Amino acid sequence: MPEVETIRSGLSNLIVGKTVKAVAFDWPKSFPNSPMEVDKFLVNATVLSVQRRGKALLLALNSGYSLVIHLKMTGQLVYRDKIQKFGAGHPTGSLIGELPDKSTRVTLEFKDNAKLFFNDQRKFGWVRLMPTVEVMNLNFFKKIGPEPLEPAFTWGALKTQLQRRPNTSIKAALLDQSVVAGIGNIYADESLWGAKLHPAAMVKTLTDKNIRLLYKSIIDVLSLSIALGGSTDRNYVDAEGKKGNYLKFANVFRRDNLPCPRCGTTIIKLRVAGRGTHICPKEQRLKL
DNA sequence: CACTTGACCTGTCCGC
DNA sequence: TGCGGACAGGTCAAGT
């Protein structure tokens, strides 16, 4: 979510008010709309806003339609102005080369000749054009949980949401977007380390104290990552093509065989909820 | 119903 | 070098 939020704020400054001139796309799973729909509701439409819900982006258009975008693991949304320069010498400092490249699935061209590229190496992500009033009817949004950085998300709200998954591991629960929106594998590991909880601990075994600490940890971790422009594990870049800086400050994620920043114990990697998981084995104990 | 496992894709890295 | 297998930030369908 911090990565998507970073893209959202960047794109908001770059494309709101711009009008689409042309659209190129060729991979139906990445962009399933027909050329007819695109001509009618996207070409000549002006971007009204760029919003985020969970890990999805919503670009509202003045045609009554919206572009809904999910980047999944390797998606990128990179903006290039009309000059089409790139690399370290460019004012934006983009680390992505010339676009489009082999991973480009969708290109939006604006009337001022600026372009927005949707790149996605693994083709898991998607862009979808649909009526704005129907967006929240997508299953993805119908079952999505609370936004962790909204004021309504209190520790009690976290407890209530967790009680919906009592018999699963706390890691699986945190990754479940219907429990809390926006926590992915990196932030689940970092939040659990912050709260000194073992990721395989059953949700129903957590105490109120555990949940309060976890709540604070989630908010701290997500807020810090947004402040640092998100995490670049491999593919992630922001709307200007720049990498995020959070992983330099991560405590456990991808730090197996390195010392725990709190106690010095060697961090280990295990598999929980089918995902690579990093913990301090001394501080994050599985109570029996 | 609650929960877990594979599938969706491409690319990279590691061991033989 | 080459090849096979495991793994990668997420979600969904199908399985138990």
A166 found inside a domain: yes
A8 and A137 belong to one structural domain: yes
pLDDT mean over A55-82 = 97
A205 and A251 belong to one structural domain: yes
Q: How many domains does chain A have?
A: 2
Taking the C-alpha atoms of residue A10 and residue A226, their distance in angstroms, rounded to an integer, is 12
A125 and A177 belong to one structural domain: no
Q: Are A71 and A103 in contact (CB under 8 A)?
A: no
Residue A84: pLDDT over 70: no
Last residue of a domain, one of A113, A142, A171: A142
pLDDT mean over A41-56 = 98
Task: Answer yes or no: is A273 CB < 7 A from strand B.
Answer: yes
CA A23-A25-A29 angle, to 5 degrees, is: 135
pLDDT at residue number A73: 97
A132 and A167 belong to one structural domain: no
pLDDT band at A51 (very low <50, low <70, confident <90, very high): very high
pLDDT at residue number A89: 59
A43 and A133 belong to one structural domain: yes
A102 and A168 belong to one structural domain: no
Q: How far is the CA of A258 from the C1' of C9 (A)?
A: 21
Q: How far is the CA of A207 from the C1' of B11 (A)?
A: 42
Q: Using the structure block, give the residue that is written with the tokens 């909880």.
A: A197
Last residue of a domain, one of A107, A142, A177: A142
CA A247, A249, A252, A254 dihedral sign is positive
A117 and A168 belong to one structural domain: no
A260: CATH = 1.10.8.50
A83 and A197 belong to one structural domain: no
Task: Answer yes or no: is A178 CB < 7 A from strand C.
Answer: no
A104 and A185 belong to one structural domain: no
Q: How far is the CA of A17 from the C1' of B4 (A)?
A: 45
Helices (H) and strands (E) in chain A, counts: 7, 10
Contacting residues 122-141/A vs strand C (CB within 7 A):
122, 124, 139-140
Of the listed ranges A12-21, A51-60, A83-92, A179-188, the one predicted with least confidence: A83-92
pLDDT at residue number A87: 61
A164 and A200 belong to one structural domain: yes
Q: Name the 3-class secondary structure at A98.
A: coil
A287 found inside a domain: no
Name the nearest CA neighbour of A122 among A139, A105, A97, A99.
Answer: A105
Residue A154: pLDDT over 80: yes
Task: Answer yes or no: is A230 CB < 7 A from strand C.
Answer: yes
pLDDT band at A85 (very low <50, low <70, confident <90, very high): low
Last residue of a domain, one of A93, A108, A142: A142
A286 found inside a domain: no
Predicted confidence (pLDDT) per residue in A247-263, tens digit = 999 999 999 999 999 99
pLDDT mean over A51-71 = 98
Its domain, for residue A136, covers: 2-142
Task: Give Cα separations from A85 to A14, A18, A88, A118, A160 (angstroms).
Answer: 16, 20, 10, 17, 50
